[in-house]
C-alpha cells in the first residue's frame, strides 16, 4: 500500500511540468482574449467617434447658410440707415418662417438721395429769395406768415415722403427666398418674392460714371415663379449681391440632393 502511494506521488511529480505548462498556456490564452477585447473596444470607440463627428457635421450643414465674410465696417449690420446690411438683426416681415434667417438687407445707394435732397434745399430757400422781390411787400404780414407756414409744411411733407420711400423700399435675401418691397405710400405697398430654388439667372447692370465710381447698380434676377423678373435697383456692391445669390442657389441644390429641404 505504501509502495502504491509512492508510485502515485512519483507520477504526480512527473506530471507537474505538464500541468504548469497547461496553466501557462491558459494564461496566455486569457491574455490574448483580453487584448482582442481591448482591440474591439478601441475600434468600437473609434467608430462611435467617427459617427458622432459625421452627425455633428450633418447638424451643422442643416443650419442656415452662412455667406462668405466681406470686408466691411464693423457695425455695418447694426446701423439703422445702412443700405447694405449683412446678417441684420431684428428684421421681420410677413409670413417669415421661424427658422428662416435674413442674410442681406438692401436699400438704394445713398447717392440716389442727392436729387431730392437738392430739391428740398431749393424749396427751403425759396421763400428767402422771394422776400427780396418788391411785390411781396404789398402782401399783408399775416397772409405772408400763412403762406410761409403752408410752404414749409409742403416742403416737410416732400422730404418725409422721399425719405420713407428710400427707407422702406428694401430688398431682402434670406436662406430660403428673395423679397422686393415697393413702398408706394403710407397706405399701399407691394411685395414680390421668389424661392431660392426658383432662381434661374442673375445679371448685374452697372452703367454710367457715378455708378461705376460709387459701386452701385441693378441686380436683375430671372425666376421661375409667378413674377419672372425681380430687380434690385441701384443697390451697393451689386457684384457681391449676385455672388451671394449664386452661392445660395448652389447651396439649395445641394440640400435637395442630400434631402435636407425644410
Q: What is the number of other CB atoms lying within 10 angstroms of the CB of residue 187?
A: 5
Helix pair angle (114-130, 141-168), 10° resolution = 180
Instruction: Specify whether the CB–CB gap between 100 and 175 falls below 8 A.
Output: yes
Question: How many independent structural domains does the chain possess?
Answer: 1
**What share of residues in the chain are helix, strand, coil (percent, to 5)?**
55, 20, 25
Q: What is the number of other CB atoms lying within 10 angstroms of the CB of residue 28?
A: 10
* pLDDT score of 173: 95
> Is 56 part of a structural domain of the chain?
yes
* pLDDT score of 39: 56
Q: How far is CA 49 from CA 44, 54, 121, 213, in A?
A: 9, 9, 68, 54
Cell 447698380 found at: 217
* pLDDT score of 85: 92
Instruction: Specify whether the CB–CB gap between 187 and 214 falls below 8 A.
Output: no
* pLDDT score of 89: 82
Query: What's the DSSP call for residue 120?
Result: H
Residues of the domain holding 54 = 1-62
Per-residue pLDDT of the chain (262 residues; tens, 9 = 90+): 444 444 443 444 444 444 444 444 445 544 554 555 555 555 555 655 655 555 455 444 444 334 334 344 444 455 778 899 998 888 887 778 888 899 999 999 999 999 999 999 999 998 888 777 766 777 787 888 888 899 999 999 999 999 999 999 999 999 889 999 998 877 788 889 899 989 999 999 998 899 999 999 999 999 987 888 999 999 999 999 999 999 999 988 887 777 766 5
> Is 130 part of a structural domain of the chain?
no
User: For the sheet containing 199-205, what is the strand order?
Assistant: 199-205, 216-223, 229-236
* pLDDT score of 54: 53
Q: How far is CA 147 from CA 108, 114, 161, 205, in A?
A: 34, 27, 21, 45
> Is 13 part of a structural domain of the chain?
yes
* pLDDT score of 9: 39
Query: What's the DSSP call for residue 69?
Result: P
> Is 95 part of a structural domain of the chain?
no
Distance CA 62, CA 65 (A): 8
Query: What's the DSSP call for residue 235?
Result: E
Burial group, residue 57, by CB count within 10 angstroms (0-12, 13-18, 19+):
exposed
> Is 1 part of a structural domain of the chain?
yes
Amino acid at each position: 500500500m505504501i509502495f502504491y502511494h509512492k508510485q502515485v506521488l512519483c507520477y504526480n511529480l512527473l506530471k507537474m511540468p505538464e500541468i504548469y505548462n497547461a496553466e501557462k498556456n491558459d494564461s496566455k490564452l486569457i491574455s490574448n482574449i483580453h487584448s482582442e477585447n481591448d482591440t474591439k473596444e478601441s475600434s468600437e470607440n473609434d467608430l462611435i467617434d467617427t459617427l458622432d463627428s459625421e452627425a455633428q457635421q450633418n447638424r451643422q450643414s442643416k443650419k442656415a447658410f452662412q455667406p462668405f465674410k466681406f470686408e466691411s465696417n464693423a457695425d455695418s449690420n447694426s446701423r439703422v440707415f445702412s443700405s447694405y446690411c449683412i446678417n441684420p438683426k431684428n428684421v421681420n416681415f410677413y409670413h417669415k418662417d421661424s427658422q428662416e434667417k435674413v442674410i442681406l438687407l438692401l436699400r438704394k445707394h445713398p447717392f440716389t438721395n442727392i436729387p431730392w435732397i437738392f430739391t428740398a434745399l431749393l424749396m427751403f430757400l425759396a421763400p428767402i429769395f422771394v422776400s427780396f422781390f418788391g411785390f411781396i411787400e404789398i402782401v399783408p404780414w399775416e397772409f405772408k406768415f400763412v403762406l410761409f407756414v403752408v410752404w414749409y409744411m409742403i416742403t416737410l411733407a416732400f422730404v418725409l415722403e422721399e425719405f420713407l420711400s428710400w427707407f422702406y423700399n428694401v430688398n431682402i435675401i434670406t436662406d430660403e427666398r428673395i423679397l422686393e418691397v415697393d413702398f408706394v405710400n403710407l397706405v399701399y405697398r407691394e411685395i414680390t418674392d421668389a424661392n431660392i430654388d426658383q432662381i434661374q439667372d442673375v445679371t448685374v447692370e452697372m452703367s454710367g460714371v457715378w455708378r461705376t465710381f460709387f459701386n452701385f447698380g441693378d441686380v436683375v434676377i430671372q425666376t421661375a415663379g409667378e413674377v419672372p423678373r425681380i430687380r434690385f435697383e441701384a443697390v451697393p456692391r451689386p457684384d457681391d449681391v449676385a455672388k451671394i445669390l449664386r452661392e445660395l442657389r448652389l447651396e439649395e441644390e445641394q440640400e435637395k440632393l442630400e434631402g435636407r429641404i425644410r
